[in-house]
Each structure stands twice: as C-alpha cells, then as structure tokens.
C-alpha cells in the first residue's frame, strides 16, 4: 500500500509540469489579433531589428514580449533573445519596437507573450 501511495504522489507531481511547457497564447489568437512588421538596420552600435506591432483587435494589450531568433542561411536557428514592446498597445493602433541583435544572415520575430488589459472577467 505505501508503494502505491508513493507512485500516485510521483505521478501527481509530474502532471502540472507537463502542462506548463506549451505556449501561453495559441498561434491562431496571435494571428487574429496582431500583425508584425520588421526590418534589419545597421546602426553605430551594430545590427538592430526594428519594426511595428499592430493590434488589430478591440482590446488593448500590455507587457508584450517578442522572441527574436537569429537564423542561418538555411533557416536553422543560431540563437535567440527576447525584447519588450514598451507601453500599452491600444486597439487598432501600432507600436514601434527596436532591439540590438547579434549578426546573422536573417531573423525571425514572433510574439512570445502579452497581457490583455481592461478585460472584465
């Protein structure tokens, strides 16, 4: 009986960990409510990725974090970093972002996380 209890406790401890590995927001949600545009520039401090996040939804968002992936010529990921989009992105508005990056042949930008604001439960 104690062995059965130990097994059940071990399984119960693993269950929450399995659910935390996935993305916070579904790709379909991000595609429906946001548009990303970016380009690479070369400033005095090195390469930068600059662009805009358009909130095409009807709810403001805050604390948006972007994933910046450095890609090789074949599209394989060389490395990644994160950057914040500053301030609240109002509905039907756009916000600028810029971040310094390590040199790479190309980059891929995606929305990692964000918070809906002014939502009433």
Q: Domain spanning 24-116: which superfamily?
A: Lipoprotein YajI-like (2.60.40.1620)
For residue 10, give the H/E element and its range: helix 2-19
Domain ranges for the chain, please list them: 24-116
Q: Which 3 state secondary structure label does DSSP give 111?
A: strand
Residues 22-59 have pLDDT tens digits of 556 678 889 999 999 999 999 889 999 999 999 999 99
Phi and psi at 111, nearest 5°, equal -80, 125
Point out which residues pair with 36 in neighbouring strands: 53
- Report the predicted TM-score, pTM, of the whole model to 2 decimal places: 0.75
DSSP assignments along 24-84, one per residue: SS-HHHHHHHEEEEEEEEEETTEEEEEEEEEE-SSS-EEEEEEEEEEE-TTS-EEEEEEEE
Who's near 35: CB < 8 A, 6+ residues apart? 53, 54, 56
Determine the pLDDT at residue 118.
76
User: Taking residues 107-119, what's their average pLDDT?
Assistant: 91
């Amino acid at each position: 009986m104690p062995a059965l209890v130990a097994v059940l406790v071990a399984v119960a401890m693993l269950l929450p960990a399995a659910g935390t590995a996935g993305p916070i927001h579904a790709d379909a949600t991000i595609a429906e409510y946001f548009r990303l545009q970016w380009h690479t520039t070369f400033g005095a401090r090195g390469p930068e990725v600059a662009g805009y996040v358009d909130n095409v939804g009807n709810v403001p968002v805050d604390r948006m974090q972007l994933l910046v992936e450095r890609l090789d010529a074949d599209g394989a990921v060389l490395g990644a970093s994160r950057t914040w989009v500053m301030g609240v992105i109002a509905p039907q508005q756009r916000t600028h972002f810029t971040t310094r990056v390590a040199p790479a042949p190309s980059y891929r930008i995606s929305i990692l996380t964000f918070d809906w604001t002014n939502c009433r439960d």
